[in-house]
Structure 1
Amino acid sequence: MRSITKMVIVGAVAGTVAVSGVVGAVAADRTAAAPGGTAAAPKALTADDTPPPAVEDFAYPGADQIFADRGIRLKSGDGHIVLVPCAPGLLEVDARNMAETDKVGGGRFCFTTTGTSGRLSLELPSTYAVSTSDYSVHLVMVNGTETKIHDLKPGTWNKVGELTDPQQRPFTLMEITTSK
């Protein structure tokens, strides 16, 4: 019993010494930094001292570089639809007149969905064909003030945009939504 009491007392003394040392060091810092060697009052926190709030803007990571490299503007989404190198079994979107702009795929863009659903806001001009993966795909496309919606079944090739327009006008793909 004595040894336990001794250990508690030794621990308490050691803790007090450690805290006193830290407090003394802080006080010495303030005294040395204050004009005339007197203890400085603690600085009041201002709005500039606090970090900005962590707010998710859902912007697509690396979007500016992807636009520079490939000509597709990826805006925002839920993070579940991701642009990836093309391979079989992915969502593939084809756009005309991208050979000069898109040195990687020449206008062929592939996406994967993680999870059971996803949403991606983007701008891809002159989209004309889409091959779906094992997800249903909902597309929103625009031409000026006209909007076209395409609901596509899983595992299918589909004509969209100008290929479904009687006047063969180009449409810009604005949103992709996927679901299982």
Structure 2
Amino acid sequence: MSEVARGLTLRTPDGRPYRFDPGALCLELLPTGGPGSYARWEVLHEPADLVRWAQQSRMPAGLEPVVTPDEVTGARALRDAMWRLAAGRTRGEQLSPADLAVVNAAAAKAPPVPRFTAHGGHGWVPGATGTQLLSAVARDGVDLFTGPYAHRIRECGAHDCSLLFVDTSRPGRRRWCAMENCGNRSKVRAHRARHTESEGDE
């Protein structure tokens, strides 16, 4: 799993932006759409969409893969498999062999080749393919599901939010996709409930 956490900028149904850090590269791919009813949020339609996602992800800056339409299809398949695996883990379900096969097949490909930049930072050898990008995502998924935080994969605690994240905080008490979104909404509801209850006691 990458140690650099930048998070993604998502938007509420009314268009308000907020920052969402799912805690792992593989989980950053999930908000681009998903299986079943999540397909209505699909944003990976063409190669430029996958390149844009890579540039906004927690991968070090400079990765600009050359992506084909078939690799976009592969990205959606990998994402959907990761969705089902992560959601199943939050419910204590057995991991699907078919979904594991999708992740393992992607992870078996060569990942992007890292290199030092001129300033000593982390960069990539130019010309990475979409397949190499997906390998990095899949390998991150293998690391997450077999690592020390596997039991901390969670779904947002809001009843109307299904965003998935891994809680990497030291106390391990993260409940929300983002405090500025679902966390604040929960606080407002709790405040209103207390206010209504106190008025009823008068």
User: Given the two structures, how large is their TM-score scaled by the length of structure 1?
Assistant: 0.23
User: Which one scores higher on RCO, CA 8 angstroms, separation ≥ 6?
Assistant: 2
Q: Which has the higher helix share?
A: 2
Larger Rg: 1
Q: Which has the higher strand share?
A: 1
